[in-house]
Chain A
């Protein structure tokens, strides 16, 4: 079983590397002029320019001059903001859950990323540039995540956000206990998987980290003896399940934990504290506001929905004031989509945070940009408009916190991956192409007859 899994992983890795292009594309400089620039971390600049060069933000200021060969975009009346970061996504993946076991730390989202998922493009059109692609919530310890830049049209390896530290998905509560799917599972004669309660979830975590700690001790001991110069030692066996958990214990891998109820979140924070690691983010965390101080004290972030609630019982006490309460308690909080649909309009979700809890414009913008970068460990690269950061930049038709605005041009590393004008201009051509293909496919009518 395990050997088969290893073989599958190896094949996956080989296929992925074969997709790597010979050379990366060279992008010329772009100067965006006369815009309202929302830097997010350094305020709003009216009638200002921003220069993108060599994939980075080279300059921000007034009356910048265009370097030779630069593309100049007049953005008078328009807004420029950093690309949106979605800290909870399942876009691009051909499989969401490896839910057969309660601990599947050995599986990797990286292996199932599909770079041709059209939702990448739809999200670029919503101003999104980076997403945290997570394993599902079927089991207590799920698979390893992948942080991705939405470079539509590129092979997977070009899209991986290389500066992002690795992470892993955990999950607690109702999805793990399968209380909503038990009957169906039982009807099909499927066995119930342990754990079926929140009690069992705590035990699964404790068991896994106890094993990981022992495994780490075995390796530490071996490495120490090798370092001392001992010869002829037999190295311990590698364990793909425990390796990532050791990285968690060593603070090298971020834990993103799906959780709803305050009590289960607190349980996880306490287990983590006991084992000496910090949970990077609580994902969803709908009841986070009930234990905001404890979350702040643990140094844990929280990523939630703007206003989704009541869809299941553990979401019945969700409130849209969650983000504001958490922020006021010092928690790094973000708004996420968890949905190909909602990911396209996170700017509106951010604006809701001004209504519910009175966030300022900058604070609202942070929930979909800078704070997400912090939660994914890439705040030195993206999340705000600052010189030296990656040129992940979006031009909006108006204030992105207005429902009437839409993204017009989306840059990643200084390169345009969505351009509304071009998209519109290509539509006639696409329609013709489609008609031609359909005409060629004789005997099959695919277009409905319109009366």
Chain B
């Protein structure tokens, strides 16, 4: 009775502090300041190098400033006792739409994931992120510190953003506000929803194929227009006597992708779709990332030859054919690793279930992938695929201090998080779920 009153009082006193309005309430407590910390005596899993069984990590000004068995910490450093605990870099989920969709079914106003029309290269996920989404807090307390969140649908869905899961505004969360363009290539084979619908609407596969050709033509001309626009702007910048080309924000938005600075996410699961995406990307001089990759093992030599990375979202998917081996998707990562294809593992979930990311990697490890590769596939490799491998994904001096201190192996479901640092800030482990737990667990 007493306990219940206490916990309820705690919750009530905590809630109003975070009551900046969000769509369905604000549940994510803000992180602390970028202080100086020393995490002492933990088993450090650096990911990039060997484990340090009994070491320290020093964090200062948002960065990791020292790592090792014997490191000096400034006397002012706040000490985090990690004895008996494990220290990991934060995990990175690159297949999500976190912050764009809160309640997928029946509450349409909370779903801002797809723009109107087929071509929206300038729809930026960054501007749709709700920092107060309850999914943010729930995901980070399992050790996911960073996500790629992307718009979906249409043909050019928009631009994905790479954000940390801490901060009460999108700019405070952002690591790379515009991290990748998303192109959902019209599908070429049967079994695809879009294609099946096209056939249903148009009566026969030939007409549906024609529609696909028209869509591909539109996509090509969009990109060629953007390319021409870029060249015209560059020429004008050099020579002001030329006629000044009109500015166009839509064409402008594609330039980083065309120059190869910004990768392009191509959702594709089937062999034909994966090959089409890679071929198309090369034709248009784009840098592809395959998202999905269910049948990637069947085309692995091609992916390796073209140096195309895959974000595997299908580890936990049911096999798509009745006669597939029961473990056909559990073993995707092991097969890609054996073939030398660069990959990351993702849940492919919009937001609420991304917290199962470690178990996706664990399932891959139970089915042929080494444990160290499983960990890399949710830390360093996704960072490298999205161009932030120098900033995060491992415990190394100079990297952003996204660090998780756990009770055990971070990929195990029973493991709990004890401390969480994002961008060098200590993040409270309070979530919508712990708040409700505290409110009701001792209710008589």
Contacts and interface: CB of A to CB of B under 8 A. Distances in A.
B414 A310 contact: no
B316 A341 contact: yes
A290 to B, nearest CB: 5
Interface in B257-276: 270-272, 275
A310 B134 contact: yes
A321 interface: yes
A349 to B, nearest CB: 8
Contacts of B104: 310-312
B57 to A, nearest CB: 23
A325 interface: yes
A307 B366 contact: no
Nearest to B416: A355
B119 interface: no
A313 B363 contact: no
A238 to B, nearest CB: 40
A403 B443 contact: no
B236 interface: no
A341 to B, nearest CB: 5
Given A118-B322, A309-B352, A403 B103 contact: no
Contact of B327 (A125, A325, A328, A340): A125
A41 interface: no
Contacts of A289: 436-437, 440-441
A121 B106 contact: no
Interface in A284-343: 289-290, 292-293, 307-313, 316-317, 319-321, 324-325, 328, 340-341
Interface in A350-380: 351-352, 354-357, 364
A125 B326 contact: yes
Contacts of A405: 366
Please classify how large the interface on chain A is, using the bins under 10, 10 to 19, 20 to 34, 35 or more: 35 or more
Interface string B429-444: 0001110110011011
Interface stretch (B121-129, B213-221, B354-362): B354-362
B326 A348 contact: no
Given A118-B322, A122-B319, A320-B433, A313 B441 contact: no
A63 B134 CA distance: 53
Given A179-B106, A310-B351, A448-B272, A403 B299 contact: no
Contact of A403 (B102, B302, B359, B440): B359
A313 B107 CA distance: 7
Contacts of A397: 366
B390 interface: no
B326 A423 contact: yes
A444 interface: no
Nearest to A292: B443
A16 interface: no
Contacts of B322: 118
Contacts of B102: 310
Contacts of B302: 450-451
A293 B353 CA distance: 29
A204 B325 CA distance: 46
B367 interface: yes
A197 to B, nearest CB: 15
Interface string A376-396: 000000000000000000000
B239 interface: no
A328 B441 contact: yes
A76 interface: no
Interface string B47-77: 0000000000000000000000000000000
A288 B302 CA distance: 51
Interface in A166-212: 174, 179-180
A179 B441 CA distance: 31
Contacts of A2: none
Given A351-B413, A404-B371, A405-B366, A430 B436 contact: no
A401 B318 CA distance: 21
Contacts of A145: none
B105 A312 contact: yes
A292 B440 contact: yes
Contacts of B443: 290, 292-293
A319 B437 contact: yes
B413 A348 contact: yes
A289 B442 CA distance: 10
A351 B326 contact: no
B304 interface: no
A324 B440 CA distance: 11
A105 interface: no
B24 A307 contact: no
Contact of A174 (B106, B362, B415): B106
B9 interface: no
A88 interface: no
A448 B104 CA distance: 35
Nearest to A121: B326
Interface in B138-162: 138
Nearest to B431: A319
A309 B319 CA distance: 24
Nearest to A316: B103
B365 interface: yes
Nearest to B417: A355
Nearest to B371: A404
Contact of B413 (A174, A179, A352, A430): A352
A397 B319 CA distance: 22
A248 B367 CA distance: 45
B103 A311 contact: yes
Given A448-B271, A450-B271, A325 B437 contact: yes
Contact of A122 (B299, B318, B366, B414): B318
A341 B318 contact: yes
A404 B299 CA distance: 27
Contacts of B319: 122
A180 B106 CA distance: 5
Nearest to A347: B413
Interface in B181-233: none
A264 to B, nearest CB: 16
A403 B351 contact: no
Contact of A450 (B298, B326, B353, B365): B298
Contacts of B363: 345, 348, 403
A310 B352 contact: yes
Interface string A119-147: 10110010000000000000000000000
Given A122-B318, A319-B437, A341-B317, A403 B352 contact: no
A430 B271 contact: no
A427 interface: yes
A217 B414 CA distance: 53
A10 interface: no
A34 interface: no
Contacts of A118: 322
Contacts of A313: 103, 106-107
Given A311-B103, A316-B103, A406-B366, 19 more contacts: A122-B318, A125-B326, A292-B440, A293-B444, A308-B352, A310-B103, A319-B436, A321-B433, A325-B437, A325-B441, A341-B318, A351-B413, A354-B414, A355-B414, A403-B358, A423-B325, A427-B325, A451-B275, A451-B302
Q: Which 6 A-B pairs have the closest CB atoms?
A: A403-B362, A351-B413, A310-B352, A354-B414, A321-B437, A319-B433
Interface of A: 118-119, 121-122, 125, 174, 179-180, 289-290, 292-293, 307-313, 316-317, 319-321, 324-325, 328, 340-341, 344-345, 348-349, 351-352, 354-357, 364, 397, 401-406, 423, 427, 430, 434, 448, 450-451
18 contacts: A118-B322, A180-B105, A289-B441, A290-B443, A292-B440, A292-B443, A310-B102, A311-B352, A321-B436, A340-B318, A341-B318, A351-B412, A355-B416, A401-B413, A403-B365, A423-B326, A448-B270, A448-B272
